[in-house]
């Protein structure tokens, strides 16, 4: 399926496997390595009272305790397969980080699903001229907020650029991205900019992963959620609203839309639409 997508091919790919009989961790890892998607998730009956289902998430390299787009896509599969139904508009996902709620809004192709992400905290605020970050930005003009390291289950640096054009034209220094990730135990850098008027989104975002294989993420719910927490921390949410839309992935051939919401308790919900692409059977003896 495509997650954070209003049409096929726009979002972040995900594989969801609902029939997990006989699959141990090594087999799940082997399947995830074979599918070569950013994540592959596996569904199990819940073991905690009140949970709608239990999920395990694997990247091609390792098991992942939490990630945004696999949570959204897995909940979509649960609904499509009739494995659980929302109660008071919520599904409850049991995973490695505990039980998290997912809000379901609407029906059909326009339905959106959003996960309440683990609350992020500020680990470090850097100087705008920090020597670890400036090489990544390759001379692009920076925005008013200083760079910061946020921890929301996964650690991400966030850095604002002065314009959407500067962000989209950025040619990052990947050696510097990897060095930043390695020296700070983070995924890498989530660069963002305020959107130009009339674009249909409020922020443009690029998530540069330097931990492990170096790549640009097509659509990262976790990176956007830590960014939303940083914006709220600075009273800098676009337009002063509690909800906004982020555009991500154009630079790598996608066009995802992520819907971010900050509730009155200060928790961040990261979500969007999902599109089914392939349904079938996997023969893995």
Selection from 54, 216, 230 nearest residue 152 by Cα: 230
Torsion angle of alpha carbons 208, 191, 95, 19, nearest 10°? -50
> Do 211 and 182 form a contact (C-beta atoms < 8 A)?
yes
Active site residue 39: yes
What's the CA gap between 138 and 173, in Å, rounded? 7
Selection from 270, 240, 275, 241 nearest residue 258 by Cα: 270
What's the CA gap between 117 and 101, in Å, rounded? 9
Tokens for 169?
């034209």
Q: Which residues are catalytic?
A: 39
């Amino acid at each position: 399926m495509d997650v954070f997508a209003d049409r096929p091919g726009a979002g972040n790919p995900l594989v969801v496997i609902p029939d997990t009989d006989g699959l141990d961790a090594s087999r799940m890892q082997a399947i995830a390595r074979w599918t070569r998607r950013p994540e592959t998730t596996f569904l199990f009956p819940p073991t905690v009272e009140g949970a709608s289902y239990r999920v395990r998430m694997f990247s091609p390299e390792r098991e992942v305790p939490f990630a945004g787009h696999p949570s959204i896509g897995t909940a979509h599969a649960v609904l499509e397969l009739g494995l659980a139904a929302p109660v008071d508009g919520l599904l409850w996902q049991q995973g490695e980080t505990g039980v998290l709620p997912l809000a379901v809004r609407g029906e059909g192709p326009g339905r959106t699903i959003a996960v309440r992400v683990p609350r992020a905290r500020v680990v470090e605020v850097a100087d705008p001229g920090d020597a670890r970050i400036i090489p990544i930005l390759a001379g692009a003009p920076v925005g008013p907020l200083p760079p910061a390291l946020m921890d929301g289950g996964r650690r991400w640096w966030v850095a604002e650029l002065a314009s959407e054009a500067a962000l989209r034209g950025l040619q990052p220094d990947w050696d510097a991205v990897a060095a930043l990730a390695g020296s700070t135990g983070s995924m890498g850098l989530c660069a963002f900019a305020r959107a130009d008027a009339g674009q249909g989104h409020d922020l443009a975002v690029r998530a540069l992963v330097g931990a492990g294989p170096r790549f640009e993420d097509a659509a990262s719910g976790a990176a956007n959620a830590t960014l939303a927490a940083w914006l709220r921390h600075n009273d800098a949410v676009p337009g002063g609203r509690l909800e906004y839309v982020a555009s991500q992935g154009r630079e790598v051939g996608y066009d995802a839309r992520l819907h971010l919401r900050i509730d009155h308790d200060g928790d961040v919900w990261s979500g969007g639409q999902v599109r089914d692409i392939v349904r079938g059977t996997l023969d893995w003896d």
